[in-house]
Amino acid sequence: MQRTLIIDALNAEKAQNAITICGWVRTRRDAKGFSFVEINDGSCLANMQCIVDEGTEAHAALGEANTGAALAVVGELVPSPGKGQTWEVRAKSVTVFGLADPEAFPLQKKRHSDEFLRGIAHLRARTNKYGAAFRIRSEAGRAVHDFFHGRRFAWVHTPVLTGSDCEGAGEMFRVTTLAPGEKNTDGDFFNRPCNLTVSGQLEAEALALGLGRVYTFGPTFRAENSNTPRHAAEFWMIEPEMAFADLSDLMELGESLTRHVIEHVLAHCEADVKLFDNFVDKGLLERLQGMLRQPFARVPYAEAIRILEDSGKEFAFPVTFGVDLQTEHERYLAEEHFQRPVIVYDYPKEIKAFYMRANDDNETVAAMDMLVPRIGELIGGSQREERLDRLEARIRELGQNPEDYWWYLDLRRFGSVPHAGFGLGFERLLMLLTGITNIRDVIPFPRTPGNLEF
Ligand code: 4AD
Ligand code: MG
């Protein structure tokens, strides 16, 4: 079907005799002698205003088409006398593809609550807010790929089905071909337990120790039963892994990536970001621009604990050296103390995963988390333990069998090098970019406890 996208039509340099616009009716207003029909096709936030004169074939074809109907309008692109738009279409013909019964169509002109719209996730993309959110999601993804390709990282694909638990937190979804209650007589498909991956890190390490610099960008799964606005059971993670790199290289990478995506989205999604600034989170634009104006803060974990202890704040979870930071602590550091993103590094080894490189103090590991205002943890990563003896000892210390990690340990046996990587939660980045406060609203079909309708 030959058609012009509304985004291109609105940027046209001159009037056109015949243009075809396809989309969904946002509003229709019948005046004396003609109908105004506002159409949106998802290519941008703006609608195309179409004027259909009464008594024409086009008007007859338009019929009762109203909010929600899908149609094509062929007509003349002419300068619009109305405010807020450059061009409008004077219809010569109209084709209605699908009507939407106004009694039944759930999206009305008024503003709907997020809660209500979550219940009709299949129709959310037809609203201004979610159209904007999903366009920003697409552009942010492009920015991620551009960033890494610009730095000569290879995009690698790690398995979704896995036998290991990278984070050792036991929060995996089990995958099985057995029906509920069915006995496992011949062994299940893989002859060993199979999970959905919680992280592609271990495989990414193997690939980095051959390709040099790699990143993953794909779905990961966590069966943590945390019903919070920041946790999803299925989320997309970006996991770069670099050979011949240490913790400070990693901090630089995390900060540069975050800045690059913010810059790209501000440059390419201006109208969509403005919508969020106007209607969802006043001050969003200023906050994002502010983040670009100065370097992110960096602070060792021990110092962060002192700051929290001296803050005079009553936290629900009290802080002392050795505790894992909670969202309230993370947000205090980023929002109130530093008032910008902050990278906390050198965490106590007890609260971090087995693969993180031990520091010389034997108490902390070369880990880093990037905390950002409004969200808390955006990035978690570390330099990896590349010394075979240290890594084996740590696995034993945690009551595990090094043989279960044979291929991972091989990477330390054969040509081991200092290397480092992190995971960035893509949905949390989108929350930062849009001001949306619930992770369910930055992913088209969210997976959270109890939600599998769509
Ligand atoms: O800190 P995490 O658990 O780190 C890892 O999985 C490492 N293996 C990554 C690596 O070093 N390659 O998770 C990384 C990030 C978090 O900082 C957070 O942004 C996001 O993933 N994340 C979640 N996002 C949404 N919902 C959840 N349930 C999330 N859990 C983690
Ligand atoms: Mg983490």
- Alpha-carbon distance of 364 to 348, in angstroms, equals 4
User: How does pLDDT run across 370-384, given as a tens digit for each residue?
Assistant: 999 999 999 999 999
List, for residues 162-207, the tens digit of each pLDDT value.
998 878 877 899 998 888 888 777 778 898 889 999 999 999 999 9
Which domains are present in the chain?
6-98 (2.40.50.140), 122-441 (3.30.930.10)
pLDDT above 90 (res 110): no
If pLDDT is split at 50, 70 and 90, which confidence band does 294 have? very high
Asked if the model's pLDDT at residue 227 lies above 90, the reply is no
| Of 396, 346, 339, residue with least CA distance to 373 | 339
- Nearest atom in ligand 1 to the alpha carbon of residue 369 is 17
Phi, psi of 18 (to 5 degrees): -140, 120
Nearest to 139 by CA among 421, 426, 439: 426
Q: Cα-flanking dihedrals φ and ψ of residue 232, to 5°?
A: -125, 155
DSSP-based three-state secondary structure for 189: coil
What is the pTM for the complete model shown? 0.97
Ligand nearest to the CA of 382: 1
Record the tokens describing residue 193, joined without a space.
């337990």
Closest CA to ligand 1's atom 21: 425
Report how far apart, in Å, the C-alpha atoms of 267 and of each of 261, 341, 424 are: 10, 21, 22
Decide if 380 contacts 398 (C-beta within 8 A): no
Q: What is the pLDDT of residues 125-155, one digit of tens each?
A: 999 999 999 999 999 999 999 999 999 999 9
Distance of CA 420 from the midpoint of ligand 1 (Å): 15
Per-residue pLDDT tens digits for 15-61:
999 999 999 999 999 999 999 999 999 999 999 999 999 999 999 99
pLDDT digit string (tens) for 351-402?
999 999 999 999 999 999 999 999 999 999 999 999 999 999 999 999 999 9
**Sole residue written with tokens 């290519």:** 43
Q: Whose CA is nearest to atom 5 of ligand 1?
A: 423
- What residue's CA is closest to ligand 1, atom 27? 231
Q: Could you tell me how far CA 123 lies from the centroid of its own chain?
A: 20
Q: How many angstroms does the Cα of residue 280 sit away from the middle of ligand 2?
A: 27
Give the integer Cα–Cα distance in Å for 347 and 453: 40
Residue 421 CA: which ligand 1 atom is closest? 11
Residues with CB under 6 A from ligand 1: 166-167, 199, 201, 222, 224, 231-232, 235, 237, 239, 377-381, 421-423, 425, 427-428
- How do residues 407-453 score in pLDDT, each as one tens digit? 999 999 999 999 999 999 999 999 999 999 999 999 999 999 999 99
Q: Please write the tens of the pLDDT for every residue from 313-322.
A: 999 999 999 9
Q: ipTM > 0.95? A: yes
Residue 382 Cα: closest atom of ligand 1: 11
Q: Half-sphere exposure (CA, 13 Å, Cβ side) for 136?
A: 35
